[in-house]
Amino acid sequence: MNQINQMNQTWKKCVFVGFALFALMVSKVSAEVLYSEDFEGTGDLHGTTPDVRTGNFGTDASATWQARTGPSFSATGGIPSGNKGSALLAFTPVTGQLYELSVDIRGTSSSVDNDDKWLGVGFSQNADLTRDMSANRGYAWMSIVSDPDLGQGNRYGGSNGSNSDAFTFSRTETWVNLKVLLDTRDTNWSASWYVDDVKVTDTFTYTTNPTINWVGYSVQQNSKGVYDNFQLSVIPEPSSLMLVGLALPLLFFFRRTSR
């Protein structure tokens, strides 16, 4: 009987250790939010403080929105009426990280040609607030036509609209989520693009890593729409998965030897 009790106690300890390691794994792979904006303010966006600004992994703990004014980007997520422009936060990526940039966009139709109605998000080198992401030497960015009846977009790897690919997507909802992954873990950085969590083009790998100083969103001249849930996160590598892999054989060993 004592041997059975000992076996049960050993097994319980092993299970506890397994759950502890699993919890550690989950905590390690959870993304850390670096910047976040829910656009619940009032007035102009320029000069306001984002909801989250950690100062970690290349962000600025004292960052404020740098955005076009007169006509202005709005703290409610609205965009300059009839004008192009950008809204940006200071950001310089560090090597060895996987960054995830995400934003929700609700476009509205207009009577003008679609060539002037694009809503975008991404990373840029420069910060001319009266111009869009392409003119600011945008890297790893994407844009979609603001007309909610059209599922058309472009992704850009290089500056000034270079290294681009057009894509289409199924647009069944008014709101669309755009996501850009910037991977700086390898010697040559890479970028991937998603619409509603569906990858829309091939991953692009840089031959020369870009100079990035800003992250944010931009609009072309005749775009109509609104932004929400802007977020930049860093996703840690799941190195603790190795711990779980090591733990499982140990659990089996203790179970066997306790019999």
Kindly report the length of the chain: 259
Residue keyed to tokens 């290349």: 58
User: Of the ranges 22-31, 52-61, 80-89, 175-184, which one carries the lowest mean pLDDT score?
Assistant: 22-31
- Indicate if the pLDDT at residue 199 is higher than 70: yes
- Of residues 5 and 191, more confidence is placed in 191
- Reported as a single tens digit per residue, the pLDDT across 206-252 is 999 999 999 999 998 778 889 999 999 999 876 544 444 555 454 54
Tell me, what DSSP letter sits at residue 49? Answer: P
Sign of CA dihedral 212, 121, 111, 41: negative
Nearest to residue 171, comparing CAs of 141, 204, 200, 140?
Answer: 200
**Beta carbons of 182 and 206 less than 8 angstroms apart:** no
Domain boundary assignment for the chain: 1-29+239-259, 31-235
Between 14 and 124, where is the model more confident? 124
Compute CA distances 250 → 25, 130, 254, whole Å. 17, 61, 6
Query: Residue 99 has which token pair?
Result: 């960054």
Rounded to whole angstroms, the Cα distance separating 86 from 130 reads 6
Per-residue pLDDT band for 2 (boundaries 50, 70, 90) equals low
Q: What is the DSSP letter of 201?
A: S
d(CA 124, CA 66): 13
Whether domain 31-235 has CATH 2.60.120.200: yes
DSSP string, 229-242: EEEEEE----TTHH
pTM above 0.85, yes or no: no
Structure tokens at 88: 């940006």
62 DSSP 8-state letter:
T
Q: Average the pLDDT over 183-200 and give the result.
A: 96
Paired tokens of 248: 């499982």
pLDDT at residue 3 in the model: 55
Q: Are 234 and 98 in contact (CB under 8 A)?
A: yes
C-alpha dihedral sign at 241, 244, 246, 249: negative
**Which element (helix H / strand E) includes 3?**
helix 2-29
